[in-house]
Structure 1
Amino acid sequence: MSMMDFFLPEFDHEMRGTREILTRVPDRLLDWKAHESLHTIGWNASHLADTLSWVEVTLKETSFDIAPVDGPAHETPLLESTQAIVESFDKNLAESRQLFQAATDDDLQVAWTLLQGGKELFTQPRAALIKSLFINHMIHHRAFLISYLRMNDIECPGLYG
């Protein structure tokens, strides 16, 4: 069995749950935030869709600078409707799943570095990064989104039974 054989069932399960939550976001609440210091519902939903777009750079490059000294910083594109968010999520999910399926165990052992302004934030083997970024990080933001929706009396399904 390959490493991806262990990763993909969990990834698929979590992405089904994430998509279900994204479909619950009403357009009227995209600008809502629980506190002035926090991101909006729309930002969190857009971030979930955007995070999957990082799979390509994760598997094809060995580093990514989120705020290069000589260029613009990466910003989550703010999508303007639930339909646009779900469509972006679906597109990025299909592309990322194809890339994951094509990845070899050798690919997953390569070290990958996240930089900010040329300074290393962390380096991990791609296999560890895939688990932390494309499962754990997305669960983290999905949890914020669920909490925000529930604060606005939007029913959210249980994701684990």
Structure 2
Amino acid sequence: MKHESANTRKMLERVPTEKNDWKPHEKSMKIGRLASHIAEIPTWITMMVTSNELDLVNMPAKPFVAESSEELLSVFDQKLEEAVTALGGATDEYLQTNWILRRGEHVIYDMPRAAFLRSLGYSHLYHHRGQLSVYLRLLDIPVPGMYGPTADDVK
């Protein structure tokens, strides 16, 4: 998680928060919301380790959108630290116990925490980080390498 988060942070550092309302398509999320969502994803990891369920009915009506790069990175760093701490205290046995995602009485998922960590934690983060790389490319902002150089690194 620490290794991948360094890559995520490199991506978040490039987000032009002055263009928070920009989106590549009418059906797309705005870049400010996408980046802020990525910054908050470690919260899901902490929740999966420290609680038994999440009821989506209780989610805030207005999603968080960072107003500056400093705020975006600060939220990401804080949420990451909390997630690393929570994971550090979890045993393999505990991670095999179930966690529930629901919307009111409707149970969406009920499965081992480890499976949730993979899907709603890590894979969710990578998916949105990939989206953000496309947004940066479309805005002609150099895309940082994640697992090697990008076209922006090649001279």
Corresponding residue number in structure 2 for 1:132: 119
User: What amino acid sits opposite 1:130 in the alignment?
Assistant: L
1:101-136 C-alpha deviation (Å, 9 max, x unpaired):
111112101111111233111122001111112210
Q: Give SS of 1:141's match.
A: helix
Q: With CA pairs under 8 Å and 6+ residues apart, which has the higher RCO, 1 or 2?
A: 1
Corresponding residue number in structure 1 for 2:138: 151
Distance 2:118 2:63 in 1: 21
Contact 2:39 2:73 survives alignment (8 Å): yes
Match of 2:108 among 114, 121, 130: 121
Corresponding residue number in structure 1 for 2:30: 40
Tell me which stretches of 4 or more aligned residues in structure 1 moved more than 4 Å: 72-75
User: What amino acid sits opposite 1:45 in the alignment?
Assistant: A
Give the Å deviation of 1:95: 1.1
Give the Å deviation of 1:13: 2.0
Q: Give SS of 2:101's match.
A: strand
Report whether the alignment pairs 1:51 with 2:38.
no
Distance 1:76 1:124 in 2: 26
Match of 2:16 among 15, 23, 26: 26
Report whether the alignment pairs 1:98 with 2:89.
no
Once the two structures are aligned, what percentage of the paired residues are identical?
37
Q: RMSD in angstroms over aligned alpha carbons?
A: 1.5
Distance 1:75 1:100 in 2: 28
User: What amino acid sits opposite 1:123 in the alignment?
Assistant: D
User: What amino acid sits opposite 1:154 in the alignment?
Assistant: I
Report whether the alignment pairs 1:87 with 2:74.
yes
Give the Å deviation of 1:74: 6.0
Give the Å deviation of 1:75: 5.0
Q: Structure 2: state its 5+ residue gaps.
A: 149-155
TM-score calculated relative to the size of structure 2: 0.89
